[in-house]
Amino acid sequence: EAGVAQSPRYKIIEKRQSVAFWCNPISGHATLYWYQQILGQGPKLLIQFQNNGVVDDSQLPKDRFSAERLKGVDSTLKIQPAKLEDSAVYLCASSYGPGEYEQYFGPGTRLTVT
Amino acid sequence: DAKTTQPPSMDCAEGRAANLPCNHSTISGNEYVYWYRQIHSQGPQYIIHGLKNNETNEMASLIITEDRKSSTLILPHATLRDTAVYYCIVRVGNQGGKLIFGQGTELSVKP
């Protein structure tokens, strides 16, 4: 069974530029999560989708971050404009459903903002 | 905020059991205890979870105290590949599903 796929794996941009990350979850998984992991810290949830609807985006900085999950499968996370403090690893995870089901994580995208 | 407390780091000799403690004194009756680990440069990986009873799978055992205020993850025969950051998370099972990660325990398995 293929795991969660993410691209790109690495991205370097200058502040005020925009960037987008892509995630393809495990086939059949209805729930998709985006986490931000700053160096030395645990991952922090940015947004959770159930199919193509948003369940929780309380921690998403909506003035610069946006995410979508068209057709309830793939998802993209965008940052526009980027700030230095956005340097982090962006992890995508998926699960069969919300609640008790375990989450499967992708390898992440390491973003460096200079 | 994370609802768990873990030691920041631990060492373990290869082949020995690694016992990773976690305190969750404010856990509610409907909250599960989950363990994930994160090997360097990889995404977190699910290990095990439990509500009240002790649990065992092919990776580890989870021992939860009777009052549910603490738990221990046991890796019975640690290998070098078990070197990772281990996260203990309490999570409401039937709502939402998001994981709130703390700082975790950095386990170093040494030859």
Residue type at position B1: D
Residue A12 has φ and ψ, to the nearest 5°, of -120, 125
3-state secondary structure labels for all residues of B60-72: CEEEECCCCCEEE
Cβ–Cβ gap B97/A97 under 8 Å: yes
Q: By CA distance, what is B47's nearest residue in A? A: A102
- Residues of A within 8 A of B94 (CB-CB) are 99-100
pLDDT of residue A101: 81
Mean pLDDT of chain A: 94
Cβ–Cβ gap B96/A55 under 8 Å: yes
Rounded Cα distance, A51 and A47, in Å: 13
Rounded Cα distance, A87 and A37, in Å: 9
pLDDT band at B95 (very low <50, low <70, confident <90, very high): low
Q: What angle do CA A21, A88, B22 make, to 5 degrees?
A: 115
Cβ–Cβ gap B44/A43 under 8 Å: yes
Q: By CA distance, what is B43's nearest residue in A? A: A107
Q: Is residue A42 within 8 angstroms of chain B, CB to CB?
A: yes
- Residues of A within 8 A of B100 (CB-CB) are 45
Rounded Cα distance, B14 and B7, in Å: 20
For residues A74-98, average pLDDT: 95
pLDDT of residue B70: 96
- Mean pLDDT lowest among A25-29, A30-34, B59-63, B95-99: B95-99
For chain A, what percent of residues have pLDDT higher than 70? 99
